[in-house]
């Protein structure tokens, strides 16, 4: 299995979260900002912020693709279709990285509001699952 193909597949899958952000998360956050007793909404994202978000997802996805390659395509899962292996990898990656980070933000001394954290948790879940699915599909094609 080509390392470059795995990294590119993970990057491509995580960039689904950028699309998700534009179609779902941004509207969801706007709706939360207009809810009663909500803090004042932040200003619109500038180009720098959007590019930083895209770069973050791209790097995260590339890292997930690399991890999938290093894990030999979840070699422990035998006789399962590639979508199952990809979703399992994405769910494991999310639960091992994003979930603890969001939990510390929600439970830490600053205690960020849970609703925006939920939006970001779902967005990163989309990124992890997308990266896992793309990497697993690339792995299955070359196997």
Q: How many other C-beta atoms can be found within 10 angstroms of the C-beta atom of residue 110?
A: 8
Confidence band (pLDDT; 50, 70, 90) for 37?
low
Mean pLDDT score of the chain: 82
Query: Where are the chain's structural domains?
Result: 3-142
Range with lowest mean pLDDT among 41-45, 99-103, 124-128: 41-45
Task: Tell me the two tokens of residue 37.
Answer: 């007793």
Range with lowest mean pLDDT among 56-65, 69-78, 127-136: 69-78
**What local confidence, expressed as pLDDT, does residue 104 receive?**
77
**What local confidence, expressed as pLDDT, does residue 41 receive?**
47
What confidence tens digit (pLDDT) does each residue in 91-101 have? Answer: 999 988 888 88
Can you tell me the distance from the alpha carbon of 62 to that of 15, in angstroms, rounded to the nearest whole number? Answer: 10
Can you tell me the distance from the alpha carbon of 131 to that of 6, in angstroms, rounded to the nearest whole number? Answer: 9
**What local confidence, expressed as pLDDT, does residue 139 receive?**
84
| 73 vs 84: which has the higher pLDDT | 84
């Amino acid at each position: 299995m080509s390392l470059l193909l795995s990294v590119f597949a993970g990057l491509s899958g995580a960039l689904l979260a950028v699309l998700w952000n534009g179609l779902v998360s941004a509207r969801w956050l706007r709706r939360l900002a207009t809810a009663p007793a909500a803090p004042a909404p932040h200003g619109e994202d500038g180009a720098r912020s959007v590019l930083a978000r895209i770069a973050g997802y791209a790097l995260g996805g590339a890292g997930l693709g690399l991890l999938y390659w290093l894990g030999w395509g979840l070699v422990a899962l035998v006789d399962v279709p590639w979508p199952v292996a990809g979703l399992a990898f994405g769910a494991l990656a999310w639960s091992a990285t994003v979930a603890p980070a969001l939990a510390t933000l929600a439970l830490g001394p600053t205690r960020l509001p849970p609703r925006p954290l939920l939006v970001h948790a779902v967005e990163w879940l989309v990124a992890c699952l997308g990266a896992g699915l793309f990497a697993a599909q690339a792995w299955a094609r070359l196997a």
